[in-house]
Amino acid sequence: MSDPFYASSCQHAQSLPSHLGAGNGPCCGPQAFGHAGRRGFLRMGLGGFASLSLPGLFRLQSALASDGQKSPREKTAIIMVWKPGGCSHIDTYDPKPDATSEYRGPFSTIATKVPGLQFTELLPRQAAIADKFTVLRSMRQTAPGHPAGSMQMLSGDPDTRDKPKPKYPDWMTVTNFLRSQQEARTNPLPRYVGINPPLEYNGPAYLGDMYSPFTVMGDPNAPNFSVPNIGLSDASEVQRLDRRSGLRQKLDTLTRAFDRQGELGALDQFEQQAISLLTSPATKEAFDLTKEDDRTRDRYGRNAWGQQLLMARRLVEAGVEVLTTSLSGQLCGRVGNWDDHAVNHHVFDALRFRAAAYDQAVTALIEDIYERGLDKRVLVVVTGEFGRTPKIEYSPSTGEGNASAPAGTIQPGRDHWPRAFSNVWAGGGIRTGQVIGATDKRGEDPIERTCSAGDFLATIYHHLGIDASTTFIKDFNGRPTPIVDHGKPIPELIG
């Protein structure tokens, strides 16, 4: 129990209605953020680069032979900002000032730039640009645990029970896979990049690790931050790689004997691409935040979250098409995520603790997307796997730390709440300044425009030019499996 993250015990789960499948054991919080994070910069080699399949290559060749035109839809991109553990909707985007004190929390409401739309005082900057995004207040899924909840939101698995690994690929790897089938990637940057991405409750399932993200770990605000394998750092290394590959070329005699062999040919292409990735200054630059002027860096916030989102914008601008980044770690408080049970955090202290960095970074990202004209091509989605219980609970803290009182101190918390929560949408050519859906007077259930995890995913896919209703991918057994289990693009969020 040295890691406070595991110390959380969650009797709260029983408070959820049984039809949500709650009550099957104590909650361990989203484990991904407990042990897998911040250990090293580069996990798992370079997965995610392998977006070039053999058929893709051939198609590229034929495409280049005719003309290189691609429809603008294919170039669309998504930045998903993930709030692991689930953000309290009632304390942020869906305040209930008229609810009783058992529910409403201590934060006062503020007006936003959109008449009639109110946030809590935690989000003044977003309130000031509320015309630049749309809040969906009636998000609802059915899984009360972090694993199943994340899998519902990311891979559309309707299962409400927690399982250790996803059964279906998440939308990010699906997109990487589908786009790889459509076209070869000419941009040396990987198609799918994760900057401290959600790691544990999502993944490629039957698509294989080659479609996993290129993962950047660590704090991009740290002075010694660097991204391995992207652009070799000094010229002598580049020189040496050139020399080595020259030698290899001379010694690689087998290829000539098999020049008809598709697989060997494909490998040749991958090798060339790898070398270009390693040696190209452009790829290195895309990850290099020092190329941004100080004002921009300040604007996002000189902290991990701010710089993560800045890097996200930079990479998407340079041609990355799927980008996920999670707002976790020290900026979240003691347990490093948004899982604000009373055992983990004093929920209100925790929200206040992280509000400034969160509000600043998200605001800067949204504004920047519009200012740089990326708002049609790039859709920004800010969400977590669920909301938090509208009714405040009180339990003893299990440890002292940021936003948590000493162990044993009774403090307020909020538990898991998949029945209703909010997320934020910007860019993507959508009409902004809207609010979609509403919850009841306590923020417990949507009362209009209920949107499911399937709708959430179908909307994302729609922006990516993928028709979720007709796209199937074969699983290990060769069975065509739909990429979304029931869901339609949310009409108000279609650009």
DSSP secondary structure, 393-412, as one string:
EEEE-SS-BTTBPSTT-EEE
Binding track over 350-389 against another protein, x by CB under 8 A: ----------------------------------------
**Contacts with another protein: how many residues (CB under 8 A)?**
64
Minimum separation from the CB atom of position 242 to another protein (A)? 11
Beta-carbon contacts of 277 under 8 Å, excluding residues fewer than 6 positions away, are 49, 188, 189, 229, 230, 231, 283
Listed ranges 52-60, 91-99, 345-353, 421-429: which one lies at the site for another protein (CB under 8 A): 52-60
Alpha carbon 54 to chain centroid distance? 28
Minimum separation from the CB atom of position 266 to another protein (A)? 6
* DSSP conformation class of 442: T
Q: In degrees, to the nearest 5, what angle opens at C-alpha 347 toward C-alphas 346 and 351?
A: 115
Minimum separation from the CB atom of position 435 to another protein (A)? 28
Return the residues of window 231-250 that contact another protein according to CB under 8 A.
232, 234-236, 240-241, 243-245, 247-248, 250
Q: Which is nearer to another protein, 64 or 267 (CB)?
A: 267
Reference 160, options 170, 168, 150; nearest CA is: 150
Binding track over 109-148 against another protein, x by CB under 8 A: ----------------------------------------
Cβ contact 91:338 at 8 Å:
no
Beta-carbon contacts of 373 under 8 Å, excluding residues fewer than 6 positions away, are none
Q: For residue 157, state whether it binds another protein (rule: CB under 8 A).
A: no
Q: Are strands 322-326 and 192-195 parallel, antiparallel or unpaired?
A: parallel
DSSP secondary structure, 88-138, as one string:
-STTTTS--TTS-HHHH-SPPEEE-SSTT-EEETT-HHHHHTGGGEEEEEE
Cβ contact 314:364 at 8 Å:
no
Q: For residue 41, state whether it binds another protein (rule: CB under 8 A).
A: no
- 182: exposed, middle or buried (C-beta count within 10 Å: 0-12, 13-18, 19+)? middle
Among 138, 273, 383, 452, binds another protein (CB under 8 A): 273
Q: Which is nearer to another protein, 290 or 477 (CB)?
A: 477
Minimum separation from the CB atom of position 36 to another protein (A)? 9
Tokens matching residue 40: 């090293």
Q: Which is nearer to another protein, 108 or 255 (CB)?
A: 255
Return the residues of window 450-479 that contact another protein according to CB under 8 A.
469-472, 476-479
Minimum separation from the CB atom of position 265 to another protein (A)? 10
Among 271, 292, 440, 445, binds another protein (CB under 8 A): 271
Cβ contact 327:82 at 8 Å:
yes
φ, ψ (nearest 5 deg) of residue 455: -65, -40
Chain positions contacting another protein, by CB under 8 A: 43-54, 164-165, 206, 208-210, 228-229, 232, 234-236, 240-241, 243-245, 247-248, 250-255, 257-258, 260-261, 263-264, 266-267, 270-271, 273-275, 277-278, 469-472, 476-480, 482, 485-486
